[in-house]
Chain A
Amino acid sequence: MNCGVFREMIGSYVDETLEEESRLWFRSHLRECQTCREAALREEPSLLFAAAPETPTEPESIEACAAAVTARIRQDRLEHHLHRRRRPWMAAAAATIMVVGGGLAWRVTIGGGEGNLPPAIEISRDLEAQTSPPTVEVEMNGEDVRVYQFATDGDSDTAVYFIVDPALEL
């Protein structure tokens, strides 16, 4: 009896005119009854795709996805945190460069100096080196190199963690 009802429904299923409950039953029967599946495919070959059973996904793939997403969320959070801490340093460095560079430019143009622009650049570089903490470049897996800046000696709140893969030791 089920099979008779099923075969009468094929046209309505294809035309998208079945109620959702009937549609669910139709799909379930299509997967379970081989005789009806063959009859349905003879009538409408594209039902082959509705008849495909759900493939079980490997648990390892799901776990790897969850781990990758969580790691990325933590990475983004750390980057955001570091970026916030780095902001005052960048502002201070930019202000120093502007003050020193601006002063020297003023001396060159207004003060009648003899074109001291190259030394001004050197001075600003030296000052920047003195005021900015060192940076470290980290090559990410399959991504670009990311640059992180260390905190100053006086900044005891910031800790930097490295995760070391022993297999990559040089």
Chain B
Amino acid sequence: MVRENLCVLLAGFSSRDEVVMNDLQWIQSAKKGDEDAYAELVRRHSAGLHRAVARILADDTEAWDVVQMAFLKAWQKLDRYDSRYSFTTWLYRIGTNLAIDLLRSRTSRERAHKAGTEHRLRLVGNGEGAGLRAESQEADGILRQLVGVLTPQQRSAFVLREMEGLETAEVADVLGCSATTVRNHIFQARKALRRELKARFPEYLPVSERG
């Protein structure tokens, strides 16, 4: 059993390394001004970045704007990119910072209105992947309604670590803080979300705790 799990983990790492290798080739071409090579990088990374930013902002549409802005900013600063570090982490850093700036510029009233409206209007849809979408959207829909209680930093740390599965060190790089601070953000976020779930979604609590 342990060996099987190890194989799964090793397979995960090798595929990730391969992505990094290919990224470097595209980045080298993009640095020389090749827009098509850069478009390939956008195709590879936009889905992941969008998913993270949409969860931080609680807004799918606005997240695409932020993703585009992040890629444009990355293009303008491509000369400064240090290939010893992961392109994904560098890109997430740009995208997350833009999302945090946007969150700070919103008023709390706008946030509450938007979160409530979006959840009610969201459709699961039919066809391929609808089951996965339904499960994911259930969690995303609840998160949309609860993230208002978190600070932008707590939101970002929780989404990147808990939902996107980044390592603590990667989240620290993205947010420009220490690993201890990341753990603290996640601890506070989990505490606040547990409290809000209890108050607003008691069906997710054990029967003994529903009150």
Q: Which residues in A have some Cβ–Cβ distance to B below 8 Å?
A: 1-2, 14, 16, 20-21, 24-25, 27-28, 41-46, 48-57, 61-63, 65-70, 72-74, 76
Contact = CB atoms under 8 A, between A and B. Distances in A.
Contacts of B198: 45
B5 A69 contact: no
Contact of A49 (B8, B43, B75, B163): B163
B136 to A, nearest CB: 4
Given A54-B136, A61-B64, A68-B68, A73 B197 contact: no
7 closest Cβ contacts across the A-B interface? A52-B139, A57-B47, A66-B42, A55-B136, A42-B206, A66-B39, A69-B71
Contacts of B193: 46, 49
Given A55-B51, A73-B35, A48 B139 contact: yes
8 contacts: A48-B139, A48-B204, A55-B133, A55-B136, A65-B67, A66-B46, A70-B35, A70-B39
Interface residues of B, number: 49
Interface of B: 1, 5, 8-9, 12, 35-36, 38-39, 42-43, 46-47, 50-51, 64, 67-68, 71-72, 75, 129, 132-133, 135-140, 142-143, 158, 162-163, 165, 167-168, 183, 186-187, 190, 193-194, 197-198, 204-206
Contacts of B186: 16
A72 B68 contact: yes
B129 A56 contact: yes
B51 A28 contact: no
B147 to A, nearest CB: 10
Given A25-B9, A63-B43, A45 B136 contact: no
Contacts of A45: 194, 197-198, 204-205
Nearest to A72: B72
A41 B39 contact: no
Contacts of A74: 35
A13 to B, nearest CB: 10
